[in-house]
Amino acid sequence: MPKSKKTRKFAVMKRMINLNDPRLKEEDRKTKKVKKPDPHEQKVNEAPQYSSALFFEYNTQLGPPYRILIDTNFVNFAIKNKVDIVSGMMDCLYAKCIPYVTECVQGELERMGEKYRLALKVIKDSRIETLPCLHKGIYADDCLVQRVTQHKCYIVATCDRDLKRRIRKIPGVPIMCVSQHKFVIERMPDAPQM
């Protein structure tokens, strides 16, 4: 019978360096001891400070007329789905809506070039108000997240997955997006039961 070849084993663990190895520095030779917690010591839990506008999960600053911050891709999706921004928002919320665009979003649309000139024309409508930006940088998503964390009175209109993920971490801020040729709101709280 022929002798079978010995194959090399996969995922073999690397050998550990001996503590007496001359390549190790002096501070690496000492084994790190884990300090056991004292059972009599008082534990301190850090809790994030939430806005005073939140009553449990209900945001008391949200109410008609709704203030809606618009993102770049929300305008593009509204144009693709042939939905008027202001009337679509009023149909979604059944109340008066004031759409806002920050200077960062406006600058982002201007940088996109000639292809998005219709979106830029839609944003410059007289019914849509422009908010000035006082921060450094030109990234629109950071601008919207910063504004929403400071003031909880806004609803964010976006179709961007990353921005939605960031805003969902902020309590009390609803998200509006385009779905099935109409605007849909996500996380809009009911009135608190008292």
H helices, E strands: number in the chain: 7, 8
Confidence of residue 11 (pLDDT cuts 50, 70, 90): low
Per residue, what are the HEC states of 44-82? CCCCCCCCCCEECCEECCCCCCEEEEECHHHHHHHHHCC
Compute the distance between CA of residue 131 and CA of residue 14 in angstroms, rounded to an integer.
58
25 pLDDT band, cuts 50/70/90, is confident
**pLDDT interval class at 57 (50, 70, 90):** low
Residue-wise pLDDT tens digits, 106-146:
999 999 989 999 999 999 999 999 999 988 888 999 999 99
- pLDDT score at 189: 64
Domains of the chain in sequence order: 66-186 (3.40.50.1010)
Position 49 pLDDT exceeds 90: no
**How many Å apart are CA 157 and CA 89, to the nearest integer?**
10
In this structure, of 6-15, 16-25, 115-124, the range with the lowest mean pLDDT score is 6-15
Does this model's pTM top 0.95? My answer is no
- Strand stretches in the chain, DSSP E: 54-55, 58-59, 66-70, 97-102, 129-131, 154-157, 175-179, 182-186
pLDDT higher than threshold 90 for residue 165? yes
Q: Is the confidence at residue 83, as pLDDT, over 90?
A: yes
Residue 185 near residue 155, CB atoms below 8 Å:
yes
